[in-house]
Amino acid sequence: MGFPGDTALLLLAFLGGFLGCTALRLLWQRIARSKLVHMKYSASDAIILKGAIVSCCASFMAPLMAVYALLGLPLDDDSIILVVAPTKTALCAVGISCGYMLYDALYSIAHPSMRSPLIIMHHLLSVAFFPYATCSHRCVLLVLFFVATEITNIGQHLRIILQKLGFEKSRAYMINGVSWAVGFVLIRILPAPFFMYKILSGSYAQFSTFDFLLASLLMPIPFMLNAFWFYMIVLGVFKAVGKGKKPAARPASVAQKQS
């Protein structure tokens, strides 16, 4: 099935993704220190801003490649959809995405202000099992979907960038927030039933016992994370709307009693 060739290409893309993120971080550090840029923020904010800029830029290529690879899969054939071999585009998409995830996990671990156990665990699990599944020709459909959904991170990290640069009350911040929420629903939530159906209807005849147990344990996790993050986004929206409402005027009798 050409596993050695798959592994070599995925590893090359992995290194490219990791080194590309490192280069972006160094480039931003140079720009931020130049005399052309005059920005004032704390050391902690500088770390968060640097991480957000790298993550925002890294959220373009791999998801777009994953979408292209998804469209080339035999989506109507449930007998082979979970064991179909990855294309070169799919291998590159998974490799680049995992390279970014390893970079981001290490960056988060190295900086206390960025540490999120949930995100770090999510990234490390992806780095460990996405390449295995892809090179073993197991559940490539799901791996590509999960990589493709990373494109919504653009809105998430752009929100952080605008916030740290002092544009939290700007129209751009509001538009980005709404676009991010809508994009999250369209890309992560609405397609979920289709992919869950493929998990249930697909054939596992070619899976080993180990592969079947691994898939059964890991495939539901991204869907649960997406549901949790969607819940957090909805809470954030209601909170923002609540802040924007003016408090209702109290009757004079009530105001007098409280005074």
The arithmetic mean of pLDDT across residues 233-245, rounded, is 69
| Band of residue 240 on the pLDDT scale cut at 50, 70, 90 | low
Residues 6+ apart with CB under 8 A from 35: none
User: What total of structural domains would you count in the chain?
Assistant: 1
For CA atoms 136, 140, 146, 151, give the dihedral sign.
positive
pTM for this prediction: 0.87
Question: Do the domain assignments include residue 166?
Answer: yes
Tokens of 255: 């105001």
pLDDT above 60: residue 259: no
pLDDT at 11 over 80: yes
Count of CB atoms situated within 10 Å of the CB of 68: 15
Alpha helices (runs of H) in the chain, residue ranges in sequence order: 3-33, 43-58, 61-71, 88-110, 117-135, 140-148, 153-164, 171-184, 192-201, 209-218, 220-244, 252-258
Predicted local distance difference test score (pLDDT) of residue 242:
64
pLDDT (0 to 100) of residue 3: 62
The helix/strand/coil state of 84 is coil
Tens digits of per-residue pLDDT, 87-126?
999 999 999 999 999 999 999 999 988 888 988 999 999 9
What residue numbers bound the domain in which 172 lies? 3-243
Residue 93 placed within a domain: yes
| pLDDT for 234 beyond 60 | yes
Is 140 within a domain?
Answer: yes
Percentage above 70 pLDDT, the chain = 88
Angle between helices 140-148 and 88-110 (to 10 degrees): 60
Name the more confident of 22 and 46. Answer: 22
Tokens of 50: 């640097």
Distance of CA 88 to the CA centre of its chain: 22
Go through 42-58 and write b for each residue having 16 or more CB atoms within 10 A of its CB, e for each that does not: eeebbbbbbbbbbbbbb
Distances (CA, A) of 161 to 47, 50, 115, 168, 216: 11, 9, 17, 9, 37
Rounded-to-integer distance, Cα 82 and Cα 75, Å: 10
3 state SS of 169: coil
Q: What are the pLDDT digits (tens) for 181-224?
A: 999 999 999 999 999 999 999 999 999 999 999 999 999 999 99
105 domain residue, yes or no: yes
